[in-house]
Structure 1
Amino acid sequence: MAASLLKTEETIAAIATALGSGGIGIVRISGPTAERILRRLFVPHRSQAVWQSHRLCYGKVVDRSSAVLDEAMAVLMRAPHSYTCEDVAEIQSHGSWPVLQAILAEVLAAGARPAEPGEFTKRAFLAGRIDLTRAEAVADLIEARTAASAKLAAEHLQGALYERISAVRDALVELLAQVEVAIDFPDDAAEILESGHLLDLLRTRAAQPLQRLLALAEQGRVFREGIKAVIAGRPNVGKSSLLNALLREERALVADLPGTTRDTIEELISVRGIPVHLVDTAGIRDHADAVEGLGIERARRKVEQADLVLLVLDASQELTASDRELLRSLAGKKRILVLNKLDAAAPDMLERISREFAEETQVRTAAKSGGGIEALLDAIQQAALGKGGAMEERLACAPNLRHKLILEKTLAACAQVEATLLAGEPADLLAVDLQTALDHLADIVGLTTPDDVLDAVFSKFCIGK
């Protein structure tokens, strides 16, 4: 790792806990003067206390005039056995934001500077403690919105993606070593390069694993970022009742009067571990007053932006021209037809609707009583993830967009290696193609990643991590 890039002469500090009140708040300090600053601000309860690495100490935090700011616990973690591989000190006070800000102000006055977003993790990366995939997993874990997305991030933090990348890299290094032998011993080059072993090694241990990783990229994005699902339909088909049923709470006002919902209502739920941003919209119709018309226009914009549309139809009535027009307007959109009011629907009418839209994904619900909601959740999961793919494999390793783009370049380089092998080209050309593939993989884990890419990665972190 590029440990030389680390500015070890600077000590940084930040509040490491979230904004707001809490039982405990933490001010984190990292750098060569962390211990000196801690000794300056923290007075142990026992005057003879000896600072031992990684051992909590009870005492009080004082300001420059020796006035007590708070009772607290403090811990010193001496290099290299710390998160950043530097001396790290943490002051754990009560979680009052004014108290934490006062403590941080004293830390900065004692010689530290404010940490930039993600700078603690960036120092851990530059010191070689973690690779770039693990560093990105830290941010993903902090931002995780469901248990499944947290599990995905935790798997990456433990090195799941790094291990798969390393396995591919080992295969390419082995290939390059044999090609180098062919370059060094030209008399034996033809025999070495024409061996089916090289082609088999390239396909089974490099190309195919890369293809499997790429196949998981979109599913990984869904678990990390979630999808936007918009509930749409004409007035009084049960959209708000459906929202309440999915949320399992009375979030939206429900009434028999058409046009009750005049604005969008947005909530986040977990659907089988997938973060789903649910949007309830105003009923879409042609004739409405000015205020309702604004809501309808907003509903149409939300539908355009949606990853998935839940088009609600009233199965207790004959479908209208508006229902069919709404469906036609969704051409090309991923959608689920929700045949609602199942408890009031005549069987023959329900069957007519089902037959008319037989090619559409359909779910039957009775939103007010909660009927069919589990089936709808299953359909949302299926629409979000697509068919196939084992859940455990998916969670074990799913690359993000940055990884995906680099993996595509690596796979293209592997395809070029195969073409060069099959064409019987000279060994030195093979070596160049293999080195290109290895360089791409090095970018994923951060061995050769440009500074501007590193800055972009760590800028997404919160301050204090």
Structure 2
Amino acid sequence: MYVRDTIAAISTAVGEGGIGIVRISGPASLPIASSIFRAKSNGGLKSHRFSYGDVVNPGNGDLVDEAMVVYMKGPNSYTREDVVEIQCHGGTLVVSRILSLALEQGARLAEPGEFTKRAFLNGRIDLVQAEAVMDVISSRTDASLALAQHQREGLLSKRISTVKEGIVYALAYVEALIDFPEDDVDVAVETDVLGKVAPALAELDALIEGFDEGRVLREGVSVVIAGKPNVGKSSLLNTLLKEKRAIVTSVPGTTRDLIEEVVNINGLPVKLLDTAGIRESEDQVEQEGVRLSLDRIPKADLVLFVVDGSSEFGDDDAAILQAIGNKSYLVVRNKADLQVNAVLPEACTGPVVAISTLTGDGVPELRNAITNAFMHGHAIDGREFVAVSKARHRDALLKARGSLQSFVANLEAGVNMELLPVDLRDALNAVGEVTGETTADDVLDRIFSSFCIGK
């Protein structure tokens, strides 16, 4: 239940910084702020105007810090409530003391995500936009940031709204036929209703189809670099990272442990994992490295199977290919600057990209191949990409599509008219789960509990 009390929290990251912000939201925001802030100029706090002054302890008058304070009168604020933000020096102690003063004056410590939750409950944003706030904060590439910003701005919500409009039209039409059966309009029902439902189904198909691409942009992907010793795995890691992260020598088995780094590949957040060279060995340390490598291959979203293009495809290569099994993989034929001697067996059916980590030849093509393995040819330019990126959204849209398909089948089969609204209402409820119109309270609590306190 939404209690309209006043909440407060620190909205900046924990630790020392140039600035710290204490945010207060609720009906007592202005009185609380006025009790602990002394403006240097006359007139007190005015809406949407910064005031410079001192934060003091009202109990004893002790100075806590100098600060800039902005008061935002609701509904023209983030939460649509009265909001005050106190901007002070960014020390751990000073912001904690200011928060303590706000709590002593009657505010309650905000729960994780409660400011954004109030923005949702007060109708400023829908649930898709609210969830996108955290995606904006956690974005790791320009493309993932742009996708999150599109959702926060409501572009995805607009597409979902067109689906809702088609369902509402069909439901109103069918219910009118049920309520006024004497009006002879059922002759055109299939044409008129299906004319609205068909575009809604098409939009649902497009949104569901784009989920995989949206998810990988938001969450990123894991890519394991696998191969026998001395094929250039560590050199490939360094090349993709554009820095010397892994030790590279001519001695086989140099890499004994897993090396993990995150890299931006054409806008796609990729967690790269360099593994130990996989081969038979009597060395216990190397054996453990090989075991870890084989353990990580099944868990990867994609495997870069690196082979030495200047030598024959051997038993160690074949063993690695067998370990890859049904996982998605790219064959990276390294050392393209040398004479090509490797003949790949028929069982090696993955796409092949020839590169040279020494000269850099083929590396751009490899980056594109990695991107296409997940984006399936869709443009990754986040400035134009609007997609579903959360499993919760996808699952709700799948339910909506199933209900609409059931409605169409029943309509065409001539099912009793009074039964048709059931599927339409189910579809409408499923769409509402995405935007928050029909989302259960426990789901809302789970969503906002993942937010940081102060947001």
Q: Deviations over 1:11-54 (max 9, x none)?
A: 211111122332222111111221122122222223x2421111
Is the 1:6–1:127 Cα contact (8 Å) retained in structure 2? no
**2:304 corresponding residue in structure 1:** 310
2:427 maps to a residue whose letter is: A
Alignment-derived partner of residue 144 in structure 1:
139
The more displaced of 434-443 and 291-300 is 291-300
| 47, 51, 57: which one aligns with 2:45 | 51
- Distance change >3 Å, CA 292–CA 106, structure 1 → 2: farther
Once the 2 structures are TM-superposed, how far is the Cα of residue 388 of structure 1 from its aligned partner?
4.7
Cα separation, 1, equivalents of 2:335 and 2:47: 65
Please, which of 448, 452, 455 is the counterpart of residue 462 of structure 1?
A: 452
Alignment of 1:236-275 (within 5 A): 236-275=230-269
Are 1:61 and 2:55 matched, yes or no?
Answer: yes
Is the 2:259–2:274 contact (alpha carbons within 8 Å) kept by the matching residues of 1? yes
- Residues 388 and 33 of structure 1, relative CA distance in 2, 3 Å threshold: closer
Give yes or no for the alignment of 1:179 onto 2:174: yes
Deviations 1:375-418 (A, max 9, x none): 11101001122245685697223242111111111111101111
What is the CA distance between 1:364 and its match in structure 2?
A: 1.3
Of residues 120, 144, 160 in structure 2, which corresponds to 1:165?
A: 160
8 A contact 1:214–1:399 mirrored in 2: no
Report the AA paired with residue 6 of structure 1. Answer: Y
Partner of 1:398: 388
- Asked if 1:7 corresponds to 2:7, the answer is no
* Distance (whole Å) between structure 2 residues aligned to residue 409 and residue 136 of structure 1: 20
Please tell me the residue identity of whatever aligns with 1:150: L
Map of 1:114 onto structure 2: 109
Residue 130 of structure 2 is aligned with which of 103, 128, 135?
Answer: 135
**Residue 143 of structure 2 contacts residue 380 of structure 2 at CA under 8 Å; is this kept in 1?**
no
Q: TM-score, normalised by structure 1?
A: 0.93
Number of the residue aligned with 2:71: 76
SS of the equivalent of 1:415 reads helix
What secondary structure sits across from 1:337 in the alignment?
strand
CA 1:235–1:337: 2 relative to 1, 3 Å: same
Which aligned pairs between 1:85-100 and structure 2 lie closer than 5 A? Answer: 85-100=80-95
Cα distance between partner residues in 2 of 1:154 and 1:418: 35
Moved over 4 A (4+): 355-358, 388-394
1:383 corresponds, among 360, 365, 373, to: 373
Q: Secondary structure at the match of 1:178?
A: helix
Match of 2:363 in 1: 373
Alpha carbons of structure 1 residues 102 and 258: separation in structure 2 relative to 1, 3 Å: farther
User: In structure 2, what residue type is equivalent to 1:315?
Assistant: G
Structure 1 pair 296/108, CA: closer, same or farther in 2 (3 Å)?
farther
One-letter identity of the residue aligned with 2:74: A
In structure 1, what is the Cα distance between the partners aligned to 2:176 and 2:239? 67
Counterparts of 1:450 and 1:193 in 2: how far apart (Å)?
Answer: 37
Q: Which runs of 5+ in 2 are unaligned?
A: none
Deviation for aligned residue 1:357: 6.6
Is contact 1:364-1:372 (8 Å) kept? yes
Q: Deviation of residue 83 (structure 1)? A: 0.8
Provide the aligned length of Structure 1 versus Structure 2. Answer: 454
What CA deviation, in whole Å up to 9, does each residue of 1:297-350 have, x standing for no partner? Answer: 22222212110111111112222200111012111101111111222x214x15
Q: Is 1:297 the counterpart of 2:291 in the alignment? A: yes
Q: Which amino acid aligns with 1:7?
A: V
CA distance in 2: counterparts of 1:364 and 1:357, whole angstroms:
18
User: Corresponding residue for 2:353?
Assistant: 363
Partner of 1:197: 192
What do residues 95-139 of structure 1 show as CA deviations (whole Å, max 9, x unaligned)? Answer: 222322232222222222221111100011111111111111111
Secondary structure of the 2:385 match is helix
Secondary structure at the aligned position of 1:186 is classed as coil
Equivalent AA in structure 2 for residue 103 of structure 1: I
Report how far residue 292 of structure 1 moved. 2.4
Q: Which is worse superposed, 221-230 or 59-68?
A: 59-68
Whether the 8 Å contact between 1:216 and 1:394 is mirrored in structure 2 is no
| Partner SS state of residue 306, structure 2 | strand
Is 1:346 equivalent to 2:339 in the alignment? yes
Kindly state the Cα deviation for residue 294 of structure 1 after the two structures are TM-superposed: 2.2
Partner of 2:148: 153
Cα distance in 1 between the residues matched to 2:130 and 2:289 = 42
Q: Partner of 1:231: helix, strand, or coil?
A: strand
Corresponding position of 1:212: 206
- TM-score, normalised via structure 2 length: 0.95
Which secondary structure does the structure 2 equivalent of 1:395 belong to? coil
* 2:30 match: 35
Evaluate the alpha carbon distance shift between residue 21 and residue 373 of structure 1 in structure 2; reply closer, same or farther with a 3 A threshold: farther
Contact 1:199/1:421 (CA < 8 Å) preserved in 2? no
2: distance between equivalents of 1:42 and 1:15? 17
1:333 counterpart = 2:323? no
One-letter amino acid matched to 1:448 = T
Distance 1:202 1:255, change over 3 A: same
User: In the TM superposition, what whole-angstrom CA distance separates every residue of 1:212-267 from its partner, at most 9, and x where no partner exists?
Assistant: 11001111101000100011111111111111110101111111122211211111
Match of 1:423 in 2: 413
| 3-state DSSP of counterpart to 2:87 | strand
Q: Secondary structure at the match of 2:119?
A: helix
Structure 2: how far apart are the matches of 1:98 and 1:298? Answer: 44
Alpha-carbon spacing, 1:393–1:182, altered in 2? closer, same or farther (3 Å): farther
TM-aligned CA distance change 1:154 to 1:162, over 3 Å: same
How far the C-alpha of 1:179 sits from its partner, in A, is: 1.1
How has the CA–CA distance of structure 1 residues 272 and 389 changed in structure 2, closer, same or farther, with 3 Å as cutoff? closer
- C-alpha deviations, 1:66-108, integer Å up to 9, x for none? 3333222111111221111111111111222232223222222
Contact kept? 2:225, 2:305, Cα under 8 Å = yes
Which SS does the other structure have where 2:317 is aligned? helix
Q: Does the 8 Å CA contact 1:148/1:273 hold for their aligned counterparts?
A: yes
Change (3 A) 1:24 1:179: same
Q: What percentage of aligned pairs have identical amino acids?
A: 45
2:432 corresponds to = 442
CA distance 1:194–1:86, change in 2 (3 Å): closer
- Answer yes or no: is the 8 Å Cα contact 2:379–2:385 preserved in 1: no
